């Protein structure tokens, strides 16, 4: 039943426990149609999913959301994942984590915490996150994380409104004792796509950021690791999507659907199975959404004849969908793509001096 | 002199046997390193007590191999992991 020649087992699983979150970041990677609490998988089902994941070869689980702390059973779920034999990364904004809860999470076996920061001052961070007091709360959580001794990654999502603060962001990571910093420029899908004209950095900002990161990598060698995701639109070639579609990781949504990537639902031609209807392994090895873009056979001629074919696998499917309307096209970021002009036109039209425009914050549908 | 360092696996970094792939792995924040037998053997020696030099001496005796070469291999291996922040040092 399993085509071992095509698909190796996955290494990592992103478990989106919930879409609930006190923050409302305008670039949230959750889909525009947020899933309501009543539809979330229950504790037992999640723990079963963790067991299935470990049995099929997943080594690391990224417990995320929304805000995973919005789940009352978070501690129990972490314990379930550890008992299943998984390495547990907790991805959190920190808001909603009390000192007592952090201590429980420590006992439950959280291996590593990834704390997101929206900005380096309360003013910017609370504006971007759409939540008064989030920054202060986050800093208190960071202190407690350090006190307990969790390894910490600071996850800084960067865009036009905070890229100029990159050096200070790196200093903040150092001050908080982070072992790693992820400097991730916003990827334009879902909410971020809606807010693209507010978020798109300028070319000068991007060039500066590259210099700052290169310098910091040297300065912090051996003390802090840098993971830098530069913005796509200014690149010449696309990035591989998670090491290739359906090759290293999978994503489970709050209601149990299994996706090849968090944004895969933006591709209307794909249908997704749920852990309620099939086993995780069956979905991974035989599910149509996973086979759709697995390997390189489906790639357009442009990519088939390109020496980067096995490097980027034609880039991001969701980006091809978002920009060209065709999920099977080469990523339009690619210089060789016939659609590259669309990306350049977006840059020209949208990267204008900051006006008074407001963010379109993420929110649940009003009639839920 | 770098052989005087005492390497340790810091919190959040642990060895794991991957039953599905039949391989030893080092699990760390946002990183999974698949280990060969040599790497695995070295990491098993880390006890937070002995220096690289002592570990080199020990492994050289077991494998009946030149101590200098072994110690220099260990140093190289440890330096690489330290750059990735998946190894710390007890005396630092
Ligand atoms: S195509 Fe892009 S958005 Fe979709 S899964 Fe791959 S990297 Fe993620
Ligand atoms: S042509 Fe295709 S394979 Fe080549 S760089 Fe562009 S997207 Fe990648």
pLDDT tens digits, one per residue of B3-52: 999 999 999 999 999 999 999 999 999 999 999 999 999 999 999 999 99
Q: Rounded to an integer, what is the distance from CA A305 to the centroid of its chain? A: 31
Q: Is A297 exposed, middle or buried (0-12, 13-18, 19+ CB in 10 A)?
A: exposed
> pLDDT at position B69, please?
94
User: ipTM value of the model?
Assistant: 0.94
Closest residue in A to B86 (Cα) is A179
In this structure, the residue with its CA closest to atom 6 of ligand 2 is A334
CA distance A289 to A261: 10
Q: How many CB pairs under 8 A join A and B?
A: 61
Are the beta carbons of A12 and B32 separated by less than 8 Å? yes
Q: Pick the more confident residue, A1 or A226.
A: A226
Ligand whose nearest atom lies closest to the CA of A313: 2
A333 lines ligand 1 (CB under 6 A): no
DSSP for residue A291: H
CB atoms within 10 A of CB A356: 4
| Chain B residues within 8 A of A9 when measuring between CB atoms | 20-21
The pLDDT confidence band at residue A19, using thresholds 50, 70 and 90, is very high
- Given a cut of 70, whether residue A3 has pLDDT beyond it is no
In this structure, the residue with its CA closest to atom 2 of ligand 2 is A303
Structural domain boundaries in chain B: 7-85
Determine the 3-state secondary structure of B7 from DSSP.
Answer: strand
CA distance A256 to A17: 9
Characterize the bridge pairing of strands B7-8 and B88-89.
antiparallel
> pLDDT at position B89, please?
94
Characterize the bridge pairing of strands B14-18 and B7-8.
unpaired
Could you tell me which CATH class the domain B7-85 is placed in? mainly alpha
> pLDDT at position A58, please?
98
- Given a cut of 60, whether residue A367 has pLDDT beyond it is no
| Chain A residues within 8 A of B29 when measuring between CB atoms | 89, 111-112, 114, 151, 153, 179-180
Strands (E), chain B: 7-8, 14-18, 23-28, 31-34, 88-89
The pLDDT confidence band at residue B92, using thresholds 50, 70 and 90, is low
Q: Rounded to an integer, what is the distance from CA A21 to the centroid of its chain? A: 15
- Given a cut of 90, whether residue A303 has pLDDT beyond it is yes
Q: Enumerate residues 215 to 234 of chain A having a beta carbon within 8 A of any beta carbon in chain B.
A: 221-225, 227
Helices (H) and strands (E) in chain A, counts: 15, 9
Strands (E), chain A: 12-16, 60-64, 87-92, 112-117, 152-158, 180-185, 225-229, 249-252, 258-259
Give Rg (Cα) of chain A: 20
Are the beta carbons of B30 and A227 separated by less than 8 Å? yes
Distances (CA, A) of A362 to A24, A193, B14: 5, 12, 37
The listed range with the strongest mean pLDDT (A23-32, A82-91, A178-187) is A82-91
Average pLDDT over residues A222-234: 91
Asked if residues A97 and A75 have their Cβ atoms less than 8 Å apart, the reply is: no
């Amino acid at each position: 039943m399993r085509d071992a020649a095509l698909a190796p087992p996955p290494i990592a699983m992103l478990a989106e426990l919930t879409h609930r979150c006190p923050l409302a970041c305008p670039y949230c990677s959750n889909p525009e149609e947020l899933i309501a609490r009543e539809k979330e998988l229950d504790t037992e089902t999640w723990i079963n999913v963790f067991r299935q994941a470990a049995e099929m070869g997943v080594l690391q689980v990224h417990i995320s959301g929304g805000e995973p702390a919005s789940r009352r059973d978070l501690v129990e779920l972490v314990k379930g994942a550890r008992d299943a034999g998984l390495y547990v990364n907790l991805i959190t904004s920190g808001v909603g984590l009390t000192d007592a809860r952090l201590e429980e999470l420590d006992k439950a076996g959280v291996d590593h915490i990834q704390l997101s920061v929206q900005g380096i001052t309360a003013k910017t961070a609370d504006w971007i996150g759409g939540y008064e007091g989030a920054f202060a709360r986050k800093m208190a959580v960071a202190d407690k994380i350090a006190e307990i001794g969790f390894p910490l990654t600071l996850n800084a999502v960067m865009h036009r409104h905070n890229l100029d603060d990159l050096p200070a962001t790196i200093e903040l990571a150092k001050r908080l004792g982070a072992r790693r910093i992820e400097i991730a420029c916003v990827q334009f899908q879902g909410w971020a796509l809606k807010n693209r004209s507010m978020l798109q950095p300028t070319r000068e900002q991007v060039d500066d950021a590259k210099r700052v990161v290169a310098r910091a990598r040297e300065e912090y060698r051996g003390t802090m690791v840098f993971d830098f995701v530069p913005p796509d639109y200014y690149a010449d070639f696309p990035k591989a999507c998670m090491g290739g579609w359906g090759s290293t990781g999978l994503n489970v949504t709050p209601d149990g659907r299994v996706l090849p990537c968090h944004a895969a639902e933006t591709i209307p031609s794909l249908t997704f199975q749920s852990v309620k209807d099939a086993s995780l392994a069956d979905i991974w090895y035989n599910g149509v959404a996973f086979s759709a873009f697995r390997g390189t056979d489906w790639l357009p001629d442009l990519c088939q004849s390109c020496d980067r074919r096995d490097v980027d696998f034609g880039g991001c499917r969701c980006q091809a969908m978002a920009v060209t309307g065709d999920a099977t096209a080469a990523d339009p970021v690619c210089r060789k793509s016939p659609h590259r002009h669309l990306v350049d036109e977006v840059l020209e039209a949208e990267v204008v001096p900051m006006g008074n425009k407001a963010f379109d914050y993420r929110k649940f549908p009003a009639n839920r | 002199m770098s052989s005087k360092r005492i390497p340790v696996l810091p919190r959040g970094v642990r060895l794991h046997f991957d039953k599905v792939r039949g391989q030893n792995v080092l699990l760390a924040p946002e990183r999974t390193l698949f280990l060969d037998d040599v790497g695995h053997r070295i990491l098993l020696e880390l006890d937070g007590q002995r220096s690289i030099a002592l570990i080199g001496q020990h492994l050289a005796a077991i494998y009946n191999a030149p101590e200098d070469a072994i110690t220099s291999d260990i140093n190289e291996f440890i330096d690489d992991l330290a750059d990735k922040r998946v190894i710390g040092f007890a005396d630092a």
